[in-house]
Amino acid sequence: MGRPRLDRRRRRGIRAGVVGLGVAFGLIGLVGVIGSGAAHALIFASPDMEPAEAVPPDFPYWEHVTQRRYQGPSVLYLGGGWALTARHVGMGEVFLEGRIFAPIAGSQRTLLNLDGSPADLMVFEIDRSEGDPGLPLLPLARRPVERGDQVLLIGFGRGRARVVEWDADGTSQFGFQWDAVGRKRWGTNRIDLVGERVNQGAWSTITIGFGFDPPLGARTTRYEAAAATGDSGGAVFVQRDGTWELAGVMTSVTGTTGRPDATSTYGDRTYAADVAAYRSEILRWTRPACANEQDDDGDEAIDFPDDPGCRDLEDDDERDRTDATGSGLTEIAIALGLAIGGALALVFRIRQRGQSTPSSTSDSTAD
């Protein structure tokens, strides 16, 4: 993928299976110095900052973050048969609940900006003909995160391997080399950039961003991490009022030039597509009427189970089938009433004819 144009630092995209999360000591696979690759797994600021728990405590959407088949990059399952990932990752077979789900040909949709330009973000539908993953709908952030918000990162990128050192204009620099294979990890960071338009190749994406801070820094989080190769398409979650929401999809990383390939350093920045900016289009493509968070039939009731016209979350018609102003049972009742009325009228006419005919015959016979 091409290098994003933002500032004087080189940016690197998070291609399929490229970005990864790492703790403050080497998890920044999306750094610009990395070239035009994608993000792998998370790099952590230091070894003791990597979480001991495999899954974040009290987090209900761990299974929604998955990956493409054959150790591919990260993919997010939205529920209802739809997946979301970075456009440069592309669609493909995904793992969900221990099974492989194939994509439906022709279902992919690249998300667009208001000016019609394509973003590095896409959705595609999976084939559920042989069974549903059984995962609930993933909550999408209604508003962007704010600077200072702590976020949860999850991806299948590379991890931190060893410390490397190099000379930059006579100054010794060090960073964290990525390991060879990505795996699912989680970490944390703090938002320091909102609403930045990142241009990378054919895509222009509204993003949120966060830097890779060293241990004991003023902004450093407990599990400080950055993206690496393979983390492209990975998740950025924020917790609001006790509810986790998907706030971003990791797409690229930037950093200084002159470093060795596949290396992260403090100061690198990870970028993620701002889900709130693309929320309406995501809902339009992936959610039926009874799950799109809109009042489609004007009855002031929204979605299942609040709208009486919705049978379930995958019902694509909010209209109340028992409403006298609509269709369904009411129309059936009206149709039956008309049919019965017509039948009674026909019987009445036949009886009328039956009474008049004998009278005329009698008269005729009498003549």
pLDDT one-digit tens code per residue, 52-65: 888 999 999 999 99
- pLDDT for 342 equals 62
Length of the chain: 367
- 153 in Cβ contact with 24 (< 8 Å): no
The confidence band for 35, taking pLDDT boundaries of 50, 70 and 90, is very low
pLDDT confidence of residue 361: 31
pLDDT band, very low/low/confident/very high, at 312 (cuts 50, 70, 90): low
Kindly tell me the burial class for residue 194, based on how many C-beta atoms sit within 10 Å of its own C-beta (0-12, 13-18, 19 or more): middle
- What's the one-letter identity of residue 4? P
pLDDT band at residue 49, thresholds of 50, 70 and 90?
Answer: confident
For 157-169, what is the mean pLDDT?
85
Residue whose C-alpha is closest to residue 187's, from 214, 149, 222, 163: 222
Q: What pLDDT does 327 receive?
A: 47
Rounded-to-integer distance, Cα 148 and Cα 251, Å: 20
Q: Report pLDDT digits (tens) over 82-105.
A: 999 999 999 999 999 989 999 999
Total-model pTM: 0.74
Average pLDDT over residues 206-226: 93
203 — phi, psi (to 5°)?
Answer: -110, 145
Question: pLDDT of 184-211, one tens digit each?
Answer: 999 999 999 999 999 988 999 999 999 9
* Residue 249, beta-bridge partner list: 273
Q: Which of 16-25, 118-127, 220-229 has the largest mean confidence?
A: 118-127
Tell me if residue 235 falls in helix, strand or coil. Answer: strand
Pick from 57-61, 90-94, 217-221, 317-321: least confident:
317-321
